[in-house]
Structure 1
Amino acid sequence: MSAIAMKYKGIIFDFNGVLLWDAPLHVQAWQATALRLRGSPISGDEFSIHVHGRTNSHILSYLSSRTLQRQELLELIQVKESMYRGLCLKNPEMFVLSPGAEALLDFVSSKDIPRTIATASEKTNLDFFIRHLGLDKWFDLQRIVYDDGTLPGKPAPDMYAKAATNISLSPHDCIVVEDAISGFQSAHAANIGHIVGLGPIETHNKLLACPGVSTVIESFEQFPRELLVIMT
């Protein structure tokens, strides 16, 4: 973990893989989708580059090897995401906020620290997460940035830049917590002040090598709260 030099006024969370450790469920749904679209599974490198943190539009176009027309794209998205949501409900032990997340969210809420989510999830999934995980307890839902088709997805900087604007801060005054290469690139390109990489300890050297990553943690139980400005 890095030395603490500055403090930041707000925090922006990625969602899948960060607040929700649901990667095995997405992998299962994406592999089934890949087999249907191209007849072969997705490799580990492909997941890192073309799946984790990327929008459905990018992933499905990549798997199809062509640009998809809007109606076809929407239909494919709903098939994949319906499968994913079904897996969430069938695996309730995995469909919970990640270790330490609730305690950290309670803390930043109690201190009135500006906060939001910037996620590649689309609206149907976001509504599903809000309903089943009670996100409205900690977040102003109108400030959450998601894949609504109006912004370029990660690794473009737009999602994190908009998230900072939504909590009335400059990107440089914000912390971002991410787990995906495309997310690190997005946050770095948006000039986020401090990027925290979250992942198993064996991935920490790789995470620290990603652009802009300053701190690495295994879970929110290790999140350095001293990075945040606490107003008294």
Structure 2
Amino acid sequence: MRYDLVIFDNDGVLVDSEPISNRLLAAYLTELGHPTSYEDSIRDYMGSAMHRIHDLVLERAGERLPDDFDDVFHGRVFAAFEAELKPVAGVAGVLEQLAADGVPYCVASSGSHERIRVGHRTTGLDRWFDESRIFSSQDVGRGKPAPDLFLHAAERMGVVPERCAVVEDSPLGVQAAVAAGMDVYGFTAMTPADRLQGATQLFSDMGQLADLLE
């Protein structure tokens, strides 16, 4: 293995949550008077922390989202997760391989700690991620595309940035990993390859990842 640490994004990389959360986000924003299609949500918000949604709506519409927006949205998302969420196909095999090879790994997500835990518990991925392997944008001042979250995860895991590989599926995440000085593997299952420019390598099937990291 040519890396000392593999850092996974969560939504769309470990858990197949992007279709669920973007469908619900588009519907909720539309309900609040900010017409948003599923495609708009994927383009503008996929991979971003909650504060970016607030910032973009304020910038575009000149109005703030309701104070309880995050709580209402997460309530809807978690309910849908319980009914629909699955792990990304092939990711359990990747984690099994890393564990067998003794390669350290962790998750660094724009989502909250609660969102990460709910997703992992629902899909059974919690067996691979204890508290010491979970990092959220809540832990740092700035979310992706700033490099802060990835740098924080590497520091806590005791690995220098240039020995880290990041697995990402959003343009913001790829930008953050590049800014952190890390190699980044762009997962194109939901994101067109041309939107992940800057990635060290692109791949479309999670089953390919273990070989790519070697």
Q: Give the TM-score taking structure 1 as reference length.
A: 0.81
| Structure 1 position 216, deviation (Å) | 1.3
Structure 1, gaps ≥5 residues long: 1-5
The residue type equivalent to 1:106 in the other structure is: E
State percent identity of aligned pairs: 24
1:60 aligned partner, one-letter code: H
Give the unaligned 5+ runs of structure 2.
none
Cross-structure match for 1:164? 154
Secondary structure of 2:111's counterpart equals strand
Q: Which amino acid aligns with 1:79?
A: V
1:216 is aligned with what amino acid? L
Match of 2:4 in 1: 9
| 2:7–2:106 Cα contact (<8 Å) kept | yes
Paired letter, 1:24: P
- Give the total of aligned pairs: 212
Question: Does the CA-based 8 Å contact 2:48-2:143 persist in structure 1?
Answer: yes
2:78 corresponds in structure 1 to 85
Partner of 2:49: 55
User: Displacement, 1:149?
Assistant: 5.9
Alpha-carbon offset, residue 183 of structure 1? 0.2
**Residue number among 201, 206, 211 corresponding to 1:220 in the alignment:** 206
The one of 18, 24, 35 equivalent to 2:19 is: 24
Deviation at 1:41, TM superposition (A): 1.2
2:22 alignment partner, SS class: helix
Q: CA RMSD in A?
A: 2.4
Residue 162 of structure 2 is aligned to residue 140 of structure 1: no
Offset of residue 46 of structure 1? 5.8
Query: Which runs of structure 1 show a deviation greater than 6 angstroms over 4 or more consecutive aligned residues?
Result: none
How far off is 1:67 after superposition?
8.2
Distance 1:226 1:219, change over 3 A: closer
Q: Supply the distance in 2 between the matched residues of 1:109 and 1:152 (Cα, whole angstroms).
A: 30
Within 2, Cα distance between the matches of 1:86 and 1:187? Answer: 31
